[in-house]
């Protein structure tokens, strides 16, 4: 009877239960192992692929120079280097109209926060345009010097305008309530671009001739710091959280990354030839740099300061801007007289949990980028029973029923659909009456109990 001890009914039932556990666990692990190129951490699946981005449309223009979106994203204004007109683009259709502003050599455009006015810097004066009817309502002389490069930026509260004068080497501070210059600040040689940080605490000016960036304190209207950057700095942009600034060094084919807390250069990124324009995506995850010498755009991952993609555009690209919702970007191609339209497709980088029942009904959280405006979310090609987009980086979905195995989470927005990913695993649920799959600690206890049982059995056989 001792030889039959381990095959009595109670032990046989327990053994069969362990076998059931192993079958279910093996099925689950087998499904998850099909996720090639991904990393599993803490029950959350992370997809490591890089999202592709391409030019989806090209708009005709006339030697475009600078581009800016209205705050609501419904329109974009494009300055044209050799014309006294502004190209106004309807961003929902990418069609355009033209209007005159009675001056030549427009460079920069800055919109008030409500979008009711546009400040257009020209060679001799800054025009203030009512965006409702595109008429010039006022203007002011830019300051010392005339002609050359001019740019304008507004403070977050719209109370001040900052205007560069390359020939004068100055920045004029304008009181927008009466359009008068209240202060003139000497900066470096040939100041080209001026931007105000989103938090309103700093004003950065690129000095093309002295290879520096002047940091202006808006509370004192004085230069508080001067930062040495690369050769012939041109464009500058702040990250949405104001923590860093990117400066394009047109003479060195690089981008200087500035920590705005310390005013120090913390990284230098090699990009294309003769970089000019730069813009951060609204979520701050990427930055676009126009390379006028190589006719392309460098896409930078701002968390790593590494170029992750290069997009071919038109000839001599200069200006670049993102729509406020991040679904598209416009690039002004000066020599090919066109504007390239690039859609920002959504990305799905991780989900939690990573698996669920084939019966569906599992609530999963999706993390990614450019998720705003999602028109549909599918799991394995089948629409979620319900979904909700919380932010541009997060959405939830209730899974539909599916077959055992891996399935891609696909989000569709006006900007397109993300890449296939196989992030999710459908698992056949444990049959009724069968215990749930043990946790890792429970498996350890089962293993130790089995060893103790085997040891006891051997001792029993010896006696």
CATH number for the domain including 424? 2.60.40.10
239 found inside a domain: yes
- Burial profile 379-406: b = 16 or more Cβ within 10 angstroms, e = fewer: bbeeebeebebeebbebebbbbebeebb
Q: Are residues 263 and 358 in the same domain?
A: no
116 found inside a domain: yes
8 found inside a domain: no
DSSP-based three-state secondary structure for 442: helix
461 found inside a domain: no
**Residue 158 predicted with pLDDT over 70:** yes
In this structure, what are the phi and psi dihedrals at residue 401, rounded to the nearest 5 degrees?
A: -70, 150
Lookup: tokens for 459: 């001792």
What is the number of alpha carbons within 13 Å of residue 179 lying toward its C-beta? 11
Q: Are residues 133 and 84 in the same domain?
A: yes
CATH at residue 333? 2.130.10.10
**Residue 31 predicted with pLDDT over 50:** no
**Residue 364 predicted with pLDDT over 70:** yes
- 116-120, 140-144, 187-191, 225-229: segment of lowest average pLDDT: 140-144
Provide, rounded to the nearest whole percent, the portion of the chain with pLDDT above 70: 79
Q: Distance between CA 392 and CA 326 in Å, rounded?
A: 9
Q: Are residues 121 and 227 in the same domain?
A: yes
Length of the chain (residues):
463
Question: What domain count does the chain have?
Answer: 2
11 found inside a domain: no
Q: Are residues 43 and 156 in the same domain?
A: no
Sheet with strand 170-175: strands edge to edge = 152-154, 160-165, 170-175, 180-186
Q: Are residues 76 and 166 in the same domain?
A: yes
State which of 12-16, 149-153, 197-201 shows the largest mean pLDDT: 197-201
**What's the whole-number mean pLDDT along residues 362-370?**
93
**What's the whole-number mean pLDDT along residues 184-208?**
96
Residue where one domain finishes, among candidates 308, 323, 343: 343
Query: How far, in Å, are 73, 126, 189, 232, 253 from residue 338 at the CA level?
Result: 20, 25, 31, 26, 23
pLDDT value of residue 37: 37
Q: Are residues 404 and 312 in the same domain?
A: no
- What distance lies between CA 204 and its chain's CA centroid? 22
454 found inside a domain: no
**Residue 439 predicted with pLDDT over 60:** no
2 found inside a domain: no
**What's the whole-number mean pLDDT along residues 275-296?**
96
DSSP-based three-state secondary structure for 115: coil
pLDDT value of residue 441: 55
1 found inside a domain: no
Domain of residue 146: give its range.
Answer: 55-343
**Residue 47 predicted with pLDDT over 50:** no
pLDDT value of residue 40: 38
What does pTM read for this prediction? 0.73
Residue with tokens 């304190």: 217
**Residue 27 predicted with pLDDT over 50:** no
Q: Are residues 358 and 253 in the same domain?
A: no
Q: What is the mean pLDDT of the chain?
A: 85
Q: Are residues 392 and 309 in the same domain?
A: no
Q: Are residues 375 and 301 in the same domain?
A: no
Residue where one domain finishes, among candidates 320, 343, 366: 343
Q: Are residues 373 and 359 in the same domain?
A: yes
pLDDT value of residue 461: 55
Q: Are residues 185 and 207 in the same domain?
A: yes
Residue where one domain finishes, among candidates 343, 367, 391: 343
Lookup: tokens for 198: 């989103």
What is the number of alpha carbons within 13 Å of residue 23 lying toward its C-beta? 12
**Residue 310 predicted with pLDDT over 70:** yes
Higher pLDDT, 41 or 354: 354
Q: Are residues 91 and 40 in the same domain?
A: no
């Amino acid at each position: 009877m001792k030889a039959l001890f381990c095959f009595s009914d109670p032990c046989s039932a327990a053994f069969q239960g362990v076998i059931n556990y192993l079958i279910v666990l093996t099925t689950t692990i087998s499904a998850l192992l099909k996720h090639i190129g991904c990393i599993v951490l803490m029950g959350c699946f992370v997809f490591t692929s890089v999202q592709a981005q391409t030019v989806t449309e090209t708009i005709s223009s006339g030697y475009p120079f600078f581009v800016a979106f209205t705050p609501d994203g419904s329109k974009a204004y494009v300055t044209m280097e050799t014309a006294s007109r502004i190209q106004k683009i309807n961003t929902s259709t990418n069609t355009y109209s033209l209007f005159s502003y009675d001056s030549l050599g427009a460079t920069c455009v800055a919109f008030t926060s409500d979008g009711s006015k546009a400040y257009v810097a020209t060679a001799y004066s800054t025009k203030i345009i009512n965006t409702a009817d595109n008429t010039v309502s006022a203007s002011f002389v830019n300051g010392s010097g005339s002609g050359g490069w001019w740019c304008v930026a507004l403070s977050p509260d719209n109370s001040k305008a900052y205007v560069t004068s390359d020939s004068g080497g100055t920045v004029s501070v304008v009181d927008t309530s009466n359009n008068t210059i209240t202060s003139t600040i000497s900066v470096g040689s040939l100041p080209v671009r001026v931007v105000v940080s989103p938090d309103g605490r700093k004003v950065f000016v690129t000095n093309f001739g002295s290879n520096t960036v002047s940091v202006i304190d808006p509370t004192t209207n004085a230069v508080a710091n001067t930062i040495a950057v690369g050769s012939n700095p041109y464009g500058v942009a702040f990250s949405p959280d104001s923590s860093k600034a990117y400066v394009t060094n047109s003479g060195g084919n690089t981008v200087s990354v500035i920590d705005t807390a310390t005013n120090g250069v913390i990284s230098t990124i090699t990009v294309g030839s003769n970089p000019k324009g730069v813009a951060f995506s609204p979520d701050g995850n990427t930055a676009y740099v126009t390379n006028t010498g190589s006719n392309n755009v460098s896409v930078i991952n701002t968390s790593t300061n590494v170029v992750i993609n290069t997009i071919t555009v038109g000839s001599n690209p200069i200006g670049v801007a993102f729509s406020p919702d991040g679904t598209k970007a416009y690039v002004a191609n000066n020599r090919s007289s066109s504007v390239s339209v690039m859609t920002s497709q959504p990305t799905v980088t991780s989900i939690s949990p990573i698996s669920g029942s084939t019966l569906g009904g599992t609530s999963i959280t999706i993390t990614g980028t450019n998720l705003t405006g999602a028109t549909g979310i599918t799991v394995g090609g089948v629409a979620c029973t319900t979904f909700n987009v919380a932010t541009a980086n997060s959405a939830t979905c209730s899974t539909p029923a599916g077959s055992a195995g891996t399935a891609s989470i696909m989000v569709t927005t006006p900007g397109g659909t993300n890449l296939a990913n196989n992030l999710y695993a459908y698992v056949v649920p444990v049959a009724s009456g069968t215990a749930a799959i043990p946790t890792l600690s429970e498996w350890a206890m089962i293993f130790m109990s089995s060893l103790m049982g085997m040891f006891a059995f051997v001792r029993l056989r010896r006696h």
